Amino acid sequence: MKIDDLEGLVDELFEEGPVSDTESMETLLREFGRLEAYVTASVGEFDTWGAWALDGARSAAAWVATKGNLPRAVARRLVRRGRALDHLHRFAEAWREGEIGAAHVDTVERARNPRTRCTLEDDEEMLVDHARTLSPEDFGKAVAYWEQLADPDGTEESAEERRNRRDVSLVKAGDMWLGRMTLDPIGGAIFADELDRLEHELFEEEWEQARERLGHEPTIVDLARTPGQRRADALEEMATRSRTAPPDGIRPRPLFSVLVDFPTLCGRVCELEQGIAVTPGSLVPWLDRADIERAVFEPPDRVQVSEKVRLFTGATRRGIQLRDRECTHPYCDRPALDCQVDHIQPYTDGGPTTFANGRLLCGFHNRLRNQRPPPPRR
């Protein structure tokens, strides 16, 4: 097929109309990814051969942005990705086959530097295998682990650089306040946990008020505030509590969970409960200022409370939260705080209340499982 035939094929698709069934949509998304891989490889060739200069463009990115009606940042990223394929041959092949996406390529390219280049050449096949089976988010964590092992000194320096990029701005614009914040992984985890806790507290209060007002179980649309509004009110509540706290009061010790498996004990990889990979060095300043909890997942009975009780509580519940960290439904990523611990084999069918038989599900998907079985998780 010639490139000129592509226009006709696209016209035929529009004539047939949009698809709406799951099988066609899955095919469409896969082929869209493959076409994106072809476009990216072509942009890389276009950048290398320099035909863009014939039109007076100063760079391939400038030409692509103009001709493709793309933002400059998007065009620069496309050119950078095209250049990356020159030295990521296994990733280029997997992308061409529709097995991975652009986000996987971007993730591994960010980890490539003069210190990791040789190791990446040796480990590329292994990383591609992970990319084939992991979502872009989970693959990002896997590459972060790999990078810490491949370049331990560099990742500690990068952690300090991330810490130095922290920034908060709040300005008055008319009769409103506008803000922006950038926090490092640990500081952000402390802040996010408290914000989520207060937002959940406000949600529970509002839910109860709606139940009393309506006389029956409410729905989300019955609540007066949106999630964003509750988070804004939670920030205001944080400031109020800070202002009213006595100057000589006992400062609460933050609790952030760091997940450590056996390989970590012999290596350098750590992960926060929120799924963010951090370096061991970034944890050192907090050793005397934070609480540390230990959860042992093996042997299985280390985190059991009672197999016969109806609800997951105590160490069993906490262990499942640390293990799953988010809703386990394949189309959901709600954090553990917003989830319920559910029996895999229903309690009413004799399912035990054990670590192995528990999983996190958000309220929506916990109710949905009683209507139809969830699709298999990739």
What pLDDT is attached to residue 376? 58
Q: Rounded to whole angstroms, how far apart are CA atoms 208 and 214?
A: 10
Q: Rounded to whole angstroms, how far apart are CA atoms 293 and 282?
A: 17
Name the 3-class secondary structure at 341.
strand
Q: How many CA atoms lie less than 13 Å away from 210 in the CB half-sphere? A: 15
Q: Rounded to whole angstroms, how far apart are CA atoms 357 and 371?
A: 20
> From start to end of the chain, where are the E strands?
167-173, 176-182, 258-259, 270-272, 277-278, 339-343, 358-362
Partners of 271 in the β-ladder: 259, 277
What pLDDT is attached to residue 307? 59
Q: Rounded to whole angstroms, how far apart are CA atoms 99 and 78?
A: 19
What pLDDT is attached to residue 27? 93
What pLDDT is attached to residue 265? 43
User: Which two tokens mark 147?
Assistant: 């990078």
CA-based R_g, the chain, Å: 25
Instruction: Give domain limits for the chain.
Output: 5-163, 189-244, 300-368
pLDDT lower than 70: segments of the chain: 1, 155-156, 254-271, 273-277, 279-282, 284, 287, 291-309, 370-378
Among residues 49, 43, 41, 86, the alpha carbon closest in space to that of 62 is found at 43
User: Which two tokens mark 345?
Assistant: 């084999």
Contact 239, 247 (CB under 8 A): no
